[in-house]
Structure 1
């Protein structure tokens, strides 16, 4: 019995080891998920000095960036920050995301400063609205802001629209801009020229026109000039900023947000959607290839996830679906290119109408729309024609391959009685509706089980001509 004790002890410790390894693995997995899902802040927070949280609005205004700004403002409130500093350089973006950012800036319990920097940066289109919505608006030397006219654009190219409709859009944009510029004590009349005349302003013009508060060379200079300054919040309360010896921390995009920020770009979303549909279409028409189905499924799921954030226009989706139907019909019933041309036009327009952004020109660009539409059309029509052509091919395996082949009678066939024929080097039981002598050629009409139904070859041949 002595030899059993070590085995039991070994099994006991093996079980404990497995449990410990499992717990360690789950801990590492949770820690990794936490790193990916949580935005990071890079600074130590001593107990002395005012805390300033810094965010970066760099690139096009889109839903993930709006979520990042919203989370940063929430984090600043939870950590009792003295100021949120948003450094901005943007050409504009989606109007829905812009409005979401502005709404959170206006109700933020922590004062917000928006700083257009570095030199050469801009706060154009949607960025101009965001700049004027802040408690403190500042610009670096050599920057500009404005050009905030609502644009009905297709692929980035402005389109001519009815004058009444244009006035309606402009009035809506102007009212939205006035709703916060007046309460911020800025110049709404001059700011409205960025909408009505598409005017852009240098930092000096913006300061002289009382649209911004400061021109500063660096964030350090901005914080130094804001120390002791009294600002009026959006709700009318006055707050004196105490920013002496500030402790600055950067609020960074999480790895997940950086990845999703690429997916929700209109151009990337359209490409993912097209690749997803094309991959699954290839898999359905050519089963067993596998790779296109896997890639297409992943791309389509990513595109559907992006749709959760983007202001997708259903008309654009319907046009893309209609184009796919046109391409399939072109392959089945050639229309001398009419259906294919209709499919190209439908997909192209669907791409351009895919994203709604009434106050800004955000959406799928003209180049990406064209680059995605033409190859998709060609591949769809070619793949469907290959499928239809394959259906006409003669079966090359199994009993079905015998149909239509010619054989030689091995034993005479009487009408309605069985005999033997040799087909493809094999001996088969056969039956014919007409008598056939030994050595004559017969043609296989059908196969039932292990029996062939044949007729004389000289009778079948005229019918096939």
Structure 2
């Protein structure tokens, strides 16, 4: 066989392998999934939802993600962040609107960020018209929704028309209409989705719900709430500036402002975690050097704990190697030991020390010279020489004396006769 024929045969075999191998890999990857993570996104599309979706994606790098959506919508900025996270993560996911649920406005956009859509009986999707409905916002949302739908269904006329109607006319589709159009597949429960996409043998289903912190962020991301936090934080800082001594108002004000900025998506969660940790350490230091009732110490411990929890929650699980755990445990032990030393030091510093007057008054000493009421002399009291005056008569040199009162560095003494 001529050499050219060998080269041609190798070329065609290479093309065939390059065509078949990705398909085989895709089939193997889908069928080898042993875990399905169901994300119960039954909340407003806000920064709490962003944190929830991020945590879910971090837990689902090698599994199948099902977004179970029941929401009336939310904020465009948060929606864009969720869409970006889902697409950039390359996680295998589908959206599911359970029976009787709805995905309106921003929630509908999130639903189309996955690779497929399932709907249960009585469910609804659509009504993506933004508020306020100015021309710029409408065009931005329409472009985003159109691109997501084309990504799933292809660049077809009815896809573009439906995206336009959902945004401009707030059109919504019920369960039957969406399925008849080919927009969604029927799924009354999770088993329908698993049986449609995966082999349901040996599938481990994990259901995720928003945690406490994500629920708090969801509340704080409301514009009324974070605006009030900004005002309150600023006022607390002003009060701290015009109040004598450290009262802790400034720390509380700074934390409120940081949380407000985080809720507005202006700073990342890492900055909030670091700020909480530093605030907690600062309050612990204040507790050590300032006598009080432990308010600063308790607040410092709480803020430090919250900062640590946020740091752990924002760290992907795959980066937490055994070495990292060993280092964390070691540093925590050192920090705990130093905190114990600081606590004991604070206790020692808070022991009430006697004033010089309390030490000297009543003390017994020796007159080193004659001491008069007008002409002072020298006495030896408390291991030191002092200038002294007699309170009655003249005290002869060598006599024992007792301190009656102290004025500055002058002592007033009387002759002491031991009974």
Length-normalised TM-score, structure 2: 0.49
Length-normalised TM-score, structure 1: 0.45
Q: Which has the higher contact order (CA 8 A, sep 6+)?
A: 1
More helix by share: 2
